Chains A and B, each alone.
Chain A
Amino acid sequence: MSAFRSGLGVLALAALAIGLYVALWASPPDAFQRDFVRIMYVHVPTVSVAYLSFTIVAIASVLFLWRGRAGFDQLAHSAAELGVVFTGLALATGSIWGKAVWGTWWTWDARLVTTAILFLVYVGYLLVRELAEDRVRGARLAAVVGIIGFVDVPIIHYSVVWFRTLHQPASITPGDIKLAPPMLAALLINLLAFCLLYLYLLISRVRLERLEAARAEAAQEGTP
C-alpha cells in the first residue's frame, strides 16, 4: 500500500507539472478573457474535486450511520477536510479571476453565495467533530451535517440555470462542448492531475485517521 501511495504521489506530481505547462504556456488565450482564462485550468479542477469530496462525505456518512463502522467515519472525516481545502481554493481562484475579468473580488451571485455556504457548512462539520465531548456522538452528528450539507452541491451546480447569475453557465454539458480542443485538452489534463493529487491526499489522510484511532485504542487498552 505504501509503494502504491508513493507511486500515486509521484504520478500526481508529474501530472501537475504537465498540467501547469499546458495551462500557462501550451494552451491559447481566450478571445474575450485573453490570458485570464488560464486561471480556469486551476479553478475548475478545484471545484470538481471539491464536489467529488463532498459526494464521498455524503455516501460514507450514510454508510456510517447505517452500519456504524468506524472506517466509513474515517473516510468521511478525511474527505470533508480535503473538500474544505479545495472549496477554499476554488473560492480564492474564482475571486482572483472575478477581480481580473468582472472587476470585483466578490458579488452576491447565486453560484458564489451557494459555494460559500457549502464551505461554511463543511467547516461546521469539522467544528462539530472537534468540539464534541463524546467522540462517537460527535461523529454521528457530523455525519448528519455531512449528508444535509450535500444538498447544496446540486443547488450550486444548477444555480446558473435556476437563477439569473453573473457566473457563466457550464461550458461542458452532455452533447455540447463550448470549448476549443486545445482548451478542452488543457482543462482535462489539469482535471486528471487534480484527481490524482486528491486520491493521493485522501489515501494519506485516511491512513492518518486509522493510525490515530489505533493509537487511541492502544492507549485505552494500556489504561488500568
Chain B
Amino acid sequence: MTVTVALAFAYGVVGVVLVVYVMRLWARLQRVKSRRDPTSSSARSVLDR
C-alpha cells in the first residue's frame, strides 16, 4: 500500500463518516423541531425553547 493510498483511505474514511453523521444529526434536529403538534400549546412551548 502506498503512502498516498493509505493516507487518502484513512482520512477519507474519517471525513466521510463524520460528515454523514453530522448531516444526519442536523436532519434529525430539523425534523424534530419542525414536527409540532398543533393541538398542544404545551408541546409548542417546550419545542420552541
Contact = CB atoms under 8 A, between A and B. Distances in A.
A64 interface: no
Q: Main SS of chain A's interface residues?
A: helix
B10 A93 contact: yes
A35 interface: yes
Contacts, number: 87
A204 B21 CA distance: 12
A173 B31 CA distance: 45
A204 B23 CA distance: 12
Interface in A1-53: 20, 24, 34-36, 38-39, 42-43, 46
The size bracket of the interface on B is 20 to 34
Contacts of B33: 211
Interface string B2-46: 010011011101100110011001101100110101011011001
Contacts of B3: 34-36, 100
The size bracket of the interface on A is 20 to 34
Nearest to A16: B18
A85 interface: yes
Given A97-B6, A207-B29, A215-B35, A42 B11 contact: yes
B16 to A, nearest CB: 10
Given A42-B10, A85-B18, A222-B40, 19 more contacts: A34-B3, A36-B6, A38-B7, A39-B6, A39-B10, A42-B11, A43-B10, A89-B13, A92-B10, A93-B13, A93-B14, A204-B25, A208-B29, A215-B32, A215-B37, A217-B46, A218-B37, A218-B40, A222-B39
5 contacts: A85-B18, A92-B10, A96-B10, A204-B29, A208-B32
